[in-house]
Structure 1
Amino acid sequence: MRAAGVESEMEIAYGGLHQLCGRLGERLSDPRYEALTTAFGISSGQPPDRFVVGLAVLNLLTEVAEGKPLICLIDDAQWLDRISAQTLAFVARRLLAERVAIVFAVRAPEDSRELAGLPELDVRGLGYSDARALLDRSITVVVDEHVRDRFVAETRGNPLALIELPGAMPAGQVAGGFGLPVVRPLARRIEDGFVRRLQPLPSETRRLLLTAAAEPVGDAPLLWRAAERLGIEPGAAAVAESAGLIEIGARVRFRHPLIRSAVYRAASGEDRRSVHLALAEATDGRRDPDRRAWHNAYAAVGLDEPVAGELEGAAARAQSRGGVAAAAAFLARAAELTPGPGRRAERTLAAADAKFRAGEPDAAYDLLAAAEIGPMDDLQRARLARLRAQIVFAHGRGSEAGPLLLDAANQLEALNDPAARETYLEALGAAIFVGRLGSLRGIQEAAEAARAARPAVPPPGSMDLLLDGMATRFTAGYAAAVPQLRKALEAFRQEAQTNEVTLLRWLWLACPVAPEPIAPDLWDDDAWHELAGRAVKLARGVGALGVLPMALSYRAGVHLHAGEFAAAAALVTEAEAIAEATGNAPLGYTRLLLAAWRGEEAPAMRLVEAQIKDATLRSEGRALGLAAHVTAVLYNGLSRYDLALGAARQACEHEDLGFFGSSLAELIEAAVRSDDAESAAEALRQLEDRTLAAGTDWALGILARSRALLAGGRQADALYQEAIDRLGRTRIVVQHARAHLLYGEWLRREQRRQDARWHLRLAHERLSEIGATAFAERAGRELAATGATARSRTVERRELLTAQEAQIAHLAADGLTNQEIGTQLFLSRHTVEWHLRKVFTKLAISSRKQLNAPLIDAVSPISAG
């Protein structure tokens, strides 16, 4: 199967993918491929997520290859429309056990950005002797040896250049060496050679070639219909085919893509417009309205409102198919053709917004500047200000984005636009994101402005409640905000059950004010578990890989605190793989916490140092707070309390949303062990304000444990027991095990060795089971000090599963079919089967019925350690 990128069709969403898969009409009628037919405009429906489309392509190619192996050849991939390139690269990265190969050809390494991470073969030129031999066959006149050497050197052994360049020059120039340009790129020089070969051809032949060059799909019937409108006789094709430039059969093919670009480049503007007009007239407007609109746009002379309207309609259709980049291109061209200044500014602003959402902030910024020139009403200017602020935040996430978003929110509020409250929340989120790297009053200023905003129209939605709660949190304090934030969290839980868009919407916000990080800030493990689980299920279900890594990261945090390190590691690995495949920044938060809890100093600190460097470059102050928190956890586990205390102090210098309370608890433990009672008491005072307001078993359990560290006698004993009791009623297994550890340590110091042994042995076993190595070793040392010996854990010597194998094994154990597992993990059924065969071999089993969680976890990459 073949496809080729075409420069003039780079803006049409799924154009390249349609070339490759569009001819499989019978297979596409299968309901499993509905996302593809919607993307191609064959059927109507909800806009498909581009990664659902990717999974459909993966399954389609796998099905085609069941009969015999399949090779997909993608030529000139640098000219594929962006969404086709991303989709095909997504598929290529998942080819493992399938009998499918995808080969992309690009002109230069810098053209392969969308294909990053795929195996590469750098196709170099011929060696000197082979290049000379080929050149000798191409040159029919006597040529000076030095000229031959120069030909070989300048072409760098490129076979096409060695064949085409000599034939494109007069014999005298070849023989004397006078026709060898030295400054123009090789591809352009080859094109020039083709241009010279076009000049002797009849005008009708050149016009037919131009029509074929402007029609990128290779649709022969369409070419002939357009040629008829241009008055071109069928005999014109014979001349072009005899010249070896083109083949016209069931499909139109140029001998080389450079011939196509040479034909198009050599034509006059008038000739190009006439050809595009003929192609537009020959294109069925009902079956392919977008390509018809695009040809009309190329044919337009000057301003043209009907064509601009046609393009606007094409943009809406592209948007409905998930083609954001195509919608942006249609809107930008529509704006260029719009005669009315006001309408032109409106379309330019819409194009800027589409460009931004398509991941092209630079182009969006240029369009904003163009829109600003035209007449705009106050509402349009406010929306322009918001978009500009969003672009600034996306570019650098620095401190300047927050004030710009605040100003835009104020403008929108003055105009009674409902988007004002959402913009206030964006401004507050940007300030929280910058955190300690912003101004000291940055967050408070944003919160005060949000609190003063006009109230929501009753009844308030989850976003309105969240805005009010977050504004209160940073103006009146944590305790005052808890009731409002709890209402917001409950509203999110209820809305997420009936309105899936709510959850995805706030995942897309990609900042700390999403509901998932609010839940641990309120010490609400039930809400955290429910919301994070639902977010993963929803993101998987709709194939929203843009937000799935974030959902997986939140869910991994739930597993980590539940002591399920293997499950957390599997989700982190999946999140990182998807982020890499989609070109998004990886989310390293849970990976850092996993490293800290495992207690391996060198690997953990390498991750921390990388996080600090990356966060500083991106002005992500909250990530710096997390790095300090992680370091405190690490060194408390390793019993190096002086280092833990220094890190915890850094973490608590700024009230980072989501883990400030946990950092206070780490500081208290480190300070008590470092004999710094004053620091411990001050941190305890802050922790009391938060945990008493939250009032959950998780919060009150951590508070009781922290108070016990500063207490003595019967009071300490009662507080430790309260901590163990409360934390035992939560999902926070790691902290429950640490409560047993701290109580056992205290009991040993109180000379109550028998009681100490029970708690220390329990702590050692649980911490060892979950893979918290440093804390487990700390419990083991304390146990040895009581005169007892820690029971060693023996792990059967089996080959470890990979993270993905463990994840697939767990899903299979839960009863999912191979197809269902593949859909969840964006893999083909064959790849799932291949992984399961390896799992069966490693576990020495022969049936899915023998799979169970303890067996899998025993040889998972984390638990087995």
Structure 2
Amino acid sequence: MLLGRRREQDELDRLLRDVHHGHGRVLVLRGEDGSGKTALLDYLCGRAPLGRVVRTVAAEPEAGIAYAGLQHLCAPLLRYLDQVPEPSRTVLASVFGLSTSGGTGDVGPAVALLLAVAAAAEPLVCVVDDVHWLDGPSGVALAFVAGQLSAGRVALVMAGRGPMSIWAACPEMAITGLTTGHARELLDSTLVGPVDAGVRDRVVAESRGNPRALLQWSRGASSVESSFGATVVPVPDLTSCLRAIGAALHAGRLGGDGLRRAAAITRDLRLDPDTPAGSLLAGVAHWVLDGYPAAAPALRHAVRTADPDDPMLLWLAVPATHAIWDDENWFRLADRDGAPLSLRGGALLLAGRFTEAAELSGDVPWPALTAYRGRTRALLSMTATARRDGDLHRAGRLHGVAGFAEAVLFNGLGDHVAALRAARQAAEYDDFGLGNWALSELVEAAALAGRPEVAAAARDRLAERTGPAGTDWALGTQALADALAGPADDAEERYREAITRLPVHRLGVLVARARLLYGRWLRRRGRHRDAEIELRAAHAVFTRIGAEGFAGRAARELRH
């Protein structure tokens, strides 16, 4: 029973009746955190025996992953894909990671066709909770769908908070606080003992009728600050714990001490360390509270046992592979059909498969791909937008992504002063999984910009992580950092070790970059014949895969 929600329930019942009679409906439930939007969606789904329901919850960590929301929402409908006419079928196969042969230019109409096919036999109710975290491309596609539902047997119901301009044209139902009477009734129904009437009235007044706040107080639970400064329910179970950790990681440098709070709560839960989820969360908690060496064993176990078909874990397991330099499990989880597009695209990129990565990204290119291609204007536009979005949504990780991408761009172009500035900004906060990448760029930028003390400090920070990791990726990365910023007498040996250790079949781009740096080092010592071998090899790789910035840099070295 939902107290005080008769009006809202009646509207949802009308929506179901309309869809049953062939009148498609769109509705946005808008209200603050804890106002009861999810409970109303539960009511809707429970009252829909007339058809099927597909439901997803948009997650903050996936807000920057193109089409992640659509993938989750439409996964139960993929059995209808063969009934969708071309070219829409190819578009959907590409968006859902089932094929690399199609573009993504007409995703909205393609999704509308899929929903229509799925609803041909009986009505279909599509539900998206926390729609304010829906990734942009999924939002654009669903906004198109929303405009096409007036005729048909499909309902699209979304719930979220705050301003959401993309849904401004959609019918909206405001979810406000409970009346004083209903708030008092809800509180009384959950209390297990007598409470002073004055205290009860104060709680009701201060809650402003927010059901979550009332339930939280009645349980006597301590709250944790979310990355947005709002009070949320404590983390009582595995799913909530994953969401809390994910939100705090995404908030990053703009989240205050939210990550430490979430990590401390995670540790207190004493999750089973033998399960992938338990070891993953334990590893992140160690990483936050105790440092990298303490985190490595748990993270290593987590990524080795993670199920690549478990979307709840994948978004955290893949960055964990970066944190512990585990390229084998990174590619096991990400380089496969059905993996989220941006996770798969990162693996393709480092393997030098730029064409496949570009096909997956479609009309929404990834910053790292744009950076490696040397597209300065496009990349700087993307990073400016990322930083604005990061500030608007308190998503500090976007600042780290922007700084890292700019460092790659400028290192590729040979503007190492600009690369140093970008890499320092990226590395000033240790974003989970991203910090290692930023430090590697910082070592190169600082060493070649004439700042050996900055390069040495970044190299030392890397060494604290690469040693405990012990993989060829980690040790090859450290060898390259030592060659750039360590003792000069050891440089050649360390360059050679880096080229030998880095896995060329999975991290071919990094191998080519190491050969470029080694060739540069050889040329400056007058060993022109040896330098030419390394530089030509690097130039050939960069040219073949389309890394235009680095190809140009290698060509300039060859001309000298």
Q: TM-score, normalised by structure 2?
A: 0.67
Indicate conservation of the 8 Å contact 2:408/2:419, yes or no: yes
- Return the alpha-carbon distance in structure 2 between the equivalents of residues 373 and 61 of structure 1: 50
2:334 corresponding residue in structure 1: 532
Which of 252, 257, 260 aligns to 1:435? It is: 252
Verify: 1:450 aligned to 2:266, yes or no: yes
Shift of 1:695: 1.1
Equivalent pair of 1:13/1:323 in contact (CA under 8 Å) = no
Q: Is the Cα–Cα contact under 8 Å of residues 226 and 248 in structure 2 kept in the other structure? A: no
Partner residue, 1:565 = 354
Distance 1:56 1:724 in 2: 46
Question: How big is each residue's C-alpha offset from its partner over 1:558-597, in whole Å with a ceiling of 9 and x where there is no partner?
Answer: 00111111111111127x5xxxxxxxxxxxxx71111111
Out of 627, 630, 638, the residue aligned to residue 405 of structure 2 is 630
The answer to whether the Cα contact below 8 Å between 2:504 and 2:511 also exists between their aligned partners in 1 is no
**Corresponding residue to 2:74 among 45, 51, 69:** 51
Distance 1:738 1:14, change over 3 A: farther
Q: Any idea what the Cα deviations from partners look like across 1:249-270, whole Å, max 9, x if unmatched?
A: xxxxxxxxxxxxxxxxxxxxxx
Distance 1:471 1:119 in 2: 41
1:400 lines up with 2:224 in the alignment: no
**Which of 700, 707, 710 lines up with 2:475 in the alignment?**
700
How far off is 1:427 after superposition?
2.6
Tell me, yes or no, if structure 1 residue 605 matches structure 2 residue 380: yes
Q: Distance in 2 between matches of 1:637 and 1:763?
A: 12
- Equivalents in 2 of 1:486, 1:382: separation in Å? 38
C-alpha deviation, 1:14, in angstroms: 5.5
Are residues 1:506 and 2:313 paired? yes
Distance 1:691 1:41, change over 3 A: same
Distance of 1:89 and 1:373 partners within structure 2: 47
> Separation in 1 of the partners of 2:328 and 2:18?
42
1:699 counterpart SS class = helix
Given the alignment, which residue of 190, 205, 220 partners 1:377? Answer: 190
What per-residue deviation string (whole Å, max 9, x for no partner) do you get for residues 36-77 of structure 1?
xxx9968999999863676677765759xxxxxxxxxxxxxx
Distance 1:623 1:376, change over 3 A: farther
Q: Distance in 1 between matches of 2:184 and 2:332?
A: 45
Which residue number in structure 2 is paired with residue 15 of structure 1?
20
Work out the CA distance in 1 between the residues paired with 2:18 and 2:318. Answer: 33
* Cα 1:652/1:365, change in 2 over 3 Å: farther
CA distance in 1, matches of 2:383, 2:471: 31
CA distance in 2, matches of 1:696, 1:45: 45
- Distance in 1 (CA, whole Å) between partners of 2:525 and 2:485 is 14
Residue 448 to residue 714, structure 1, CA distance change in 2 (3 Å): same
For structure 2, list consecutive stretches of 5 or more residues without a partner in the other structure.
Answer: 1-10, 26-46, 57-71, 87-106, 117-139, 160-169, 193-210, 218-222
Q: By how many angstroms is 1:422 displaced? A: 4.0
One-letter identity of the residue aligned with 2:311: L
Post-superposition offset of 1:91: 2.7
Asked if 1:91 is matched to 2:96, the reply is no
Residue 482 of structure 1 contacts residue 693 of structure 1 at CA under 8 Å; is this kept in 2?
A: yes
Indicate yes or no: 2:537 matched with 1:762.
yes
Residue 533 of structure 1, CA deviation: 3.6
- The code of the aligned residue for 1:377 comes to T
Instruction: Give yes or no for the alignment of 1:738 onto 2:513.
Output: yes
- Once the two structures are TM-superposed, the CA of residue 120 in structure 1 deviates from its matched residue by 9.5
| Match of residue 659 from structure 1 | 434
**1:9–1:775 CA distance, 2 compared to 1 (3 A):** same
Aligned-pair identity in percent equals: 34
**Matching residue of 2:546:** 771
CA–CA separation in structure 2 for the residues paired with 1:14 and 1:466 = 42
Shift of the 783–14 alpha-carbon distance from structure 1 to 2, 3 Å rule, reads farther
Residue by residue over 1:296-334, the C-alpha shift from the partner in whole angstroms, topping out at 9 and shown as x without a partner, is xxxxxxxxxxxxxxxxxxxxxxxxxx98959x9xxxxxx
Looking at structure 1, the residues matched to 444 and 367 of structure 2 have their Cα atoms a distance apart, in angstroms, of 20
Specify the alignment match of 1:523 in structure 2.
Answer: 325
1:41-190 correspondence runs (5 A): 51=74, 62=85, 90-92=111-113, 116-117=143-144
Taking a change above 3 Å as real, the CA distance of residues 217 and 657 of structure 1, as seen in their structure-2 partners, is closer
Deviation at 1:10? 1.7
Distance 2:293 2:22 in 1: 54
The residue type paired with residue 228 of structure 2 is: S
For structure 1, the residue ranges without an aligned partner over 5 or more in a row are 1-5, 21-38, 64-85, 96-112, 122-215, 219-321, 329-358, 387-391, 413-418, 540-550, 577-589, 786-865
Among 473, 477, 481, the residue aligned to 2:291: 477
| In 2, Cα distance between equivalents of 1:774 and 1:432 | 31
Q: In structure 1, how many angstroms separate the alpha carbons of the residues matched to 2:179 and 2:359?
A: 42
Query: Does structure 2 retain, via aligned residues, the 8 Å contact 1:625–1:650?
Result: yes
Residue 461 in structure 1 maps to residue 287 in structure 2: no
SS of equivalent residue, structure 1 residue 599: coil
Which structure's CA Rg is the greater one? 1
Q: Distance in 2 between matches of 1:632 and 1:505?
A: 31
Identify if the C-alpha distance between structure 1 residues 662 and 18 changes in structure 2 by more than 3 Å, giving closer, same or farther.
same
CA distances 1:528-559 after superposition (whole Å, capped 9, x unpaired)? 1111245x52x6xxxxxxxxxxx111000100
Q: Conserved in 2, the CA contact under 8 Å of 1:58 and 1:91?
A: no
User: 2: distance between equivalents of 1:368 and 1:693?
Assistant: 57
Alignment partners' CA distance in 1, 2:297 and 2:371: 33
Match of 1:691 in 2: 466
Structure 1 residues 713, 422: closer, same or farther in 2, change over 3 A? same
Shift of 1:661: 0.9
Q: 1:92 to 1:771 in 2, by over 3 A?
A: same
Structure 2: how far apart are the matches of 1:52 and 1:672?
Answer: 47
Matched residue type, 1:15: H
The one-character-per-residue Cα deviations of 1:155-182 (angstroms, maximum 9, x if unpaired) are xxxxxxxxxxxxxxxxxxxxxxxxxxxx
Amino acid at match of 2:247: A
Instruction: Please report how far the alpha carbon of residue 118 of structure 1 lies from its aligned counterpart in structure 2 after TM superposition.
Output: 8.0
Would the alpha carbon gap of residues 713 and 325 (structure 1) be closer, same or farther in structure 2, given more than 3 Å must change? closer
Contact 2:403 2:422 in 1 (8 A): yes
Greater RCO (CA < 8 Å, at least 6 residues apart): 2
Cα distance, 1:631 vs. partner?
Answer: 0.7
Which amino acid is the alignment partner of residue 480 of structure 1? A
Task: Tell me the distance in 2 between the aligned counterparts of 1:13 and 1:519.
Answer: 48
- 1:704 is displaced (CA, Å) by 0.4
Q: 1:556 aligns with which of 336, 340, 345?
A: 345
Q: Secondary structure at the match of 1:399?
A: coil
Shift of the 520–643 alpha-carbon distance from structure 1 to 2, 3 Å rule, reads same
The alpha carbon displacement at 1:94 in A equals 11
TM normalised by structure 1 equals 0.45
For 1:710, the equivalent position in structure 2 comes to: 485
How far apart, in 2, do the equivalents of 1:563 and 1:53 lie?
A: 33
- CA change 1:572–1:7 in 2 (3 A) is same
1:789-800 equivalences under 5 Å are: none
Partner of 2:99: none
Contact 1:697 1:729 in 2 (8 A): no
CA distance, structure 1, for counterparts of residue 388 and residue 431 of structure 2: 18
Query: What are the within-5 Å matches in structure 2 for residues 187-226 of structure 1?
Result: none
Q: 1:740 to 1:475 in 2, by over 3 A?
A: same
For residues 306-345 of structure 1, the aligned pairs below 5 Å read 325=157
Could you say if the C-alpha distance between residues 92 and 645 of structure 1 is closer, same or farther in structure 2, counting changes exceeding 3 Å? same
Amino acid at match of 2:20: G
| Structure 2 CA distance for partners of 1:626 and 1:749, relative to 1, 3 Å | same
Counterpart residue type for residue 478 of structure 1: Y
- For 1:13 and 1:687, locate their aligned partners in 2 and report how far apart those are by CA, in whole Å: 60
1:362 and 1:751 map into 2 onto residues whose CA distance is 73
Aligned-residue offset at 1:434 = 1.1
The match for 2:457 among 682, 689, 697 is 682
Per-residue CA deviations over 1:369-412 (Å, capped at 9, x if unaligned) read 966741343699699549xxxxx99xx984314xx34x612xx4
